[in-house]
């Protein structure tokens, strides 16, 4: 295989679409680490929540970084704790995840991210409109981490993030699998990495509607997005699976049992990462063939 087929500049009008899923993002990290080993980079990447973190490390070319952030054996560096919850009423320590980690603990290579010239967008949900927004930044690392933080700010376990005059939260609330946005940008070929198995469909858990209405009563559009999320997500999967059958998108998903969103067991996470890496190995040639068609 010649190098030209591995260089992202050879694959114009193509995109990498990364679903979120909390700890399940370690599967995506495995797939992308193998792609990076093979120097397979696409010119556009869009990520949601944990997928936004994957997107940044993919664009900076930092193999293994996402894995190191996800698989933590030191509980004090885990990014969430009951102690933090009792202090702040939020389970996740977002300052550690989006300040300590990228700046000091496991530094993000912002200069490499800028120099590569890949276009990266992260999905956030506007609390006022309940709509998704697709944001990026190549001038300020501080704002870049802030966008990623907003994309990962899950309801009830993390606070909203203020940017400008607006508040933002997890992008998955409004657009969990943004392949439609990538298509709209003119990317005719899209590689979509999911973190759920084939056939999965989302359900709104009993009692959650009332909790959402009470907790976010000042943001009715967000409440609507939260309540409608399973319906919107399942519709996205229906469309994605149809496009997959038609050969219009290339979907990569787990074929083994997935881990939970908040899984912390390093052995389980390592195994799920390896499943992602091995999946990347298995589909690599097929991905190249799809992109070249």
Q: Give the tens place of pLDDT for each residue, 222-260.
A: 999 999 999 999 999 999 999 999 999 999 999 999 999
pLDDT score of 77 more than 80? no
pLDDT score of 3 more than 50? no
What pLDDT, in 10s, does the model give residues 94-115? 777 888 889 999 999 999 999 8
Helices (H), ranges, the chain? 25-37, 50-60, 65-70, 82-88, 94-95, 110-116, 141-151, 179-184, 208-215, 220-245, 266-292
Global pTM? 0.93
pLDDT score of 81 more than 70? no
The residue-averaged pLDDT of 258-270 equals: 92
Residue appearing with tokens 């059958």? 245
Q: Give the pLDDT score at 89.
A: 47
Q: Give the pLDDT score at 128.
A: 97
> How many helices (H) and strands (E) in the chain?
11, 8
CA 146 to chain centre: 15
Distance CA 137, CA 146 (A): 10
């Amino acid at each position: 295989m010649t190098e030209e087929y591995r260089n992202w500049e050879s694959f114009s009008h193509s995109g990498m679409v990364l679903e979120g899923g909390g700890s399940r993002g370690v599967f995506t990290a495995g797939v992308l680490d193998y792609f990076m080993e093979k120097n397979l980079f696409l010119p556009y990447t869009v990520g949601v929540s944990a997928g936004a973190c994957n997107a940044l490390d993919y664009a900076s070319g930092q193999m293994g970084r996402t894995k190191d952030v996800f698989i933590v054996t030191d509980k004090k560096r885990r990014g969430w704790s009951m102690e933090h919850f009792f202090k702040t009423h939020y389970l996740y320590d977002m300052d550690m995840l989006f300040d300590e980690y990228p700046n000091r603990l496991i530094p993000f290579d912002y200069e490499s991210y800028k120099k590569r010239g890949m276009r990266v967008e992260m999905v956030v949900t506007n609390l006022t409109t309940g709509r998704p927004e697709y944001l990026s930044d190549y001038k300020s690392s501080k704002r870049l981490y802030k966008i990623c933080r907003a994309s990962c700010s899950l309801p009830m376990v993390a606070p909203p993030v203020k940017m400008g005059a607006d508040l933002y939260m997890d992008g998955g609330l409004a657009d969990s699998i943004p392949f439609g946005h990538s298509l709209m940008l003119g990317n005719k070929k899209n590689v979509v990495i999911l973190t759920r198995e084939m056939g999965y469909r989302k359900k709104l858990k009993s009692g959650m509607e009332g909790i959402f209405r009470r907790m976010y009563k000042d943001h009715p559009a967000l409440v609507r997005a939260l309540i409608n999320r399973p319906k919107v997500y399942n519709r996205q999967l229906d469309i994605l699976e149809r496009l997959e059958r038609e050969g219009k998108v290339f979907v990569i998903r787990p074929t083994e049992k997935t881990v939970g969103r908040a899984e912390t067991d390093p052995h389980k996470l390592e195994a799920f990462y390896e499943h992602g890496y091995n999946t990347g190995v298995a589909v690599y040639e097929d991905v190249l063939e799809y992109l070249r068609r």
